[in-house]
Amino acid sequence: MEVLEAKNIHLGYPRKSGQKKVISGLSFELKKNQLTCLLGRNGIGKSTLIKGLLGQLSPVSGEILLGNRNLNELSKEEIAKEISVVLTEYSMPGNLTVEQLVALGRTPHLRWHGRLSQEDYQAVDKALTLTKIQELRKERISELSDGQRQKAMIARALAQESPILILDEPTAHLDLLGRHEIMALLYELAMKEGRAVLVVTHNIELAIESAQEFWLLISQDQMIQGPPEDLIIAGQIKKLIPGESFHFDLEKGKIVFPSEKLEINVQGPESLKFWVEKALTKANLKKVADTIFVEKDPFKISHQGKTFRSIRALIDDIKD
Ligand SMILES: Nc1ncnc2c1ncn2[C@@H]1O[C@H](COP(=O)(O)OP(=O)(O)OP(=O)(O)O)[C@@H](O)[C@H]1O
């Protein structure tokens, strides 16, 4: 069942000479039980589209429905009960502690007296635990690293416990493990708690790993929608990377540098061959005489009667 639906929406920004069009005539549905990733080149309109979905930017035409109600007719408070959000830019008092910031996520649930209930405290604790920042709870926001602050913002959105979560580049400041943990967490929230999760990301590989649905924003009037696997097989992912300089490798599921045909014969287990060939290509060795044999346990490379314990040693020998 869809929870947030856009019907033929046009979004833009007013300017002196009329309107700057950014999104023209797009229709889509954000579904429950699903992690959807919105991808597209810089400046294509992803954040603009999100502002539309949050009711921060009214469509010039078309409509956005939350459940079966028009977003325009809902108050900020009503929207906040349904949608929690993590954006890229914030202005917030830096003297708040992490715990106080995360508790702000409970605002839509507070009674008239504004005090947190037992249930609110539990939601805050749960959000801190899920984002693995319990030990930061007493730290001031202004004294956090960018990545820690980002996790705190995600925790605030989780504490809100809304059925829809929208996050604009939530993993931008996170280290490799942090990125995977957050995307895995968002996937779990979609799958186990039935939420509708929309993530804007530039990380195609991580998106392929975790999302059930892709929205590829190609131009202001074209958004390709579908499971990433279908879009990969149909060659649609390539539309994100126009031109000849890079290409999307179907087998590896990622964007790779342009590669010339290698005249290198490497024999051995596939996983090792891959890394040996990659290192040789980067070292600009596209042509190597005689077969290179690679073995594992223990790792060993043999070439022209010599044995090497590392790829670097092999490369140094070939270059000599
Ligand atoms: N407040 C604004 N006023 C006028 N134009 C804007 C405003 N915000 C964004 N734009 C323009 O709208 C277009 C889309 O910008 P948007 O921020 O939505 O892109 P994006 O896909 O999120 O980019 P990125 O990946 O770089 O974050 C750009 O041409 C941008 O200059």
pLDDT at 200: 96
Cis preceding linkage at 298, omega within 30: yes
- Choose one of 244, 274, 298: the last residue of a domain: 244
pLDDT at 1: 43
| Test site for ligand 1: of 9, 10, 11, 13, most ligand atoms within 8 A of the Cβ | 13
- Whether residue 256 lies inside any domain: the answer is no
Q: Judge if 279 and 161 occupy the same domain.
A: no
- Whether residue 250 lies inside any domain: the answer is no
Give the CATH number of the domain where residue 219 resides: 3.40.50.300
Rounded to an integer, what distance in angstroms lies between the CA atom of residue 250 and that of residue 232? Answer: 7
Q: Judge if 291 and 221 occupy the same domain.
A: no
Q: Judge if 91 and 17 occupy the same domain.
A: yes
| Test site for ligand 1: of 48, 87, 218, most ligand atoms within 8 A of the Cβ | 48
Residue type, 66: L
Q: Judge if 223 and 308 occupy the same domain.
A: no
Name the strands in the sheet holding 164-168, side by side, starting at the edge strand that comes first in the sequence: 83-86, 164-168, 196-200, 34-40, 213-219, 222-226
Q: Are 318 and 285 in contact (CB under 8 A)?
A: yes
Q: Is the CB of 245 under 6 A from ligand 1?
A: no
Burial state string for 256-292 with b = 16 or more CB within 10 A and e = fewer than 16: eeeeeeeebebebeeebbeebbeebeeeebeebeeeb
Q: Judge if 299 and 171 occupy the same domain.
A: no
- Choose one of 244, 275, 307: the last residue of a domain: 244
Rounded to an integer, what distance in angstroms lies between the CA atom of residue 62 and that of residue 272? Answer: 54
Note the pLDDT tens digit of each residue in 208-255.
Answer: 999 999 999 999 999 999 999 999 888 888 888 776 666 777 777 777
Q: Judge if 124 and 220 occupy the same domain.
A: yes
Question: How far is ligand 1, taken at its centre, from the CA of residue 267, in Å?
Answer: 49
Cα 47 to chain centroid distance, Å, stands at: 13
Q: Judge if 139 and 277 occupy the same domain.
A: no
Q: Judge if 99 and 159 occupy the same domain.
A: yes
Residue ranges in the chain whose pLDDT is less than 50: 1
Q: Judge if 42 and 148 occupy the same domain.
A: yes
Q: Are 310 and 284 in contact (CB under 8 A)?
A: no
Tokens of 176: 């490799």
Question: How far is ligand 1, taken at its centre, from the CA of residue 207, in Å?
Answer: 22
Determine which residue's CA is closest to atom 26 belonging to ligand 1: 42
Q: Judge if 142 and 281 occupy the same domain.
A: no
Q: How many domains does the chain have?
A: 2
- Whether residue 252 lies inside any domain: the answer is no
- Whether residue 260 lies inside any domain: the answer is no
SS3 of the chain: CEEEEEEEEEEEEEECCEEEEEEEEEEEEEECCEEEEEEECCCCCHHHHHHHHCCCCCCCEEEEEECCEEHHHCCHHHHHHHEEEECCCCCCCCCCEHHHHHHHCCHHHCCCCCCCCHHHHHHHHHHHHHCCCHHHCCCEHHHCCHHHHHHHHHHHHHHCCCCEEEEECCCCCCCHHHHHHHHHHHHHHHHHHCCEEEEECCCHHHHHHHCCEEEEEEECCEEEEECHHHHHHCCCHHHHCCCCCCEEECCCCEEECCCCCCECCEECCHHHHHHHHHHHHHCCCCECCCCEEEECCCCEEEECCEEECCHHHHHHHHHC
Tokens of 215: 């929205």
Note the pLDDT tens digit of each residue in 258-282.
Answer: 666 778 899 999 889 989 988 998 8
- Choose one of 244, 275, 301: the last residue of a domain: 244
Residue type, 22: V
Prediction pTM value: 0.85
- Whether residue 253 lies inside any domain: the answer is no
- Whether residue 46 lies inside any domain: the answer is yes
Q: Is the CB of 42 under 6 A from ligand 1?
A: yes
Determine which residue's CA is closest to atom 25 belonging to ligand 1: 42
- Whether residue 255 lies inside any domain: the answer is no
- Whether residue 142 lies inside any domain: the answer is yes
Q: Are 131 and 49 in contact (CB under 8 A)?
A: no
Rounded to an integer, what distance in angstroms lies between the CA atom of residue 289 and that of residue 18? Answer: 65
Q: What angle do CA 160, 89, 193 make, to 5 degrees?
A: 25
Q: Residue 150 is part of which domain span?
A: 2-244
Q: Judge if 51 and 106 occupy the same domain.
A: yes
Q: Judge if 204 and 149 occupy the same domain.
A: yes
C-alpha torsion angle, residues 138, 139, 142, 146 (rounded to 10): -120
Determine which residue's CA is closest to atom 1 belonging to ligand 1: 13
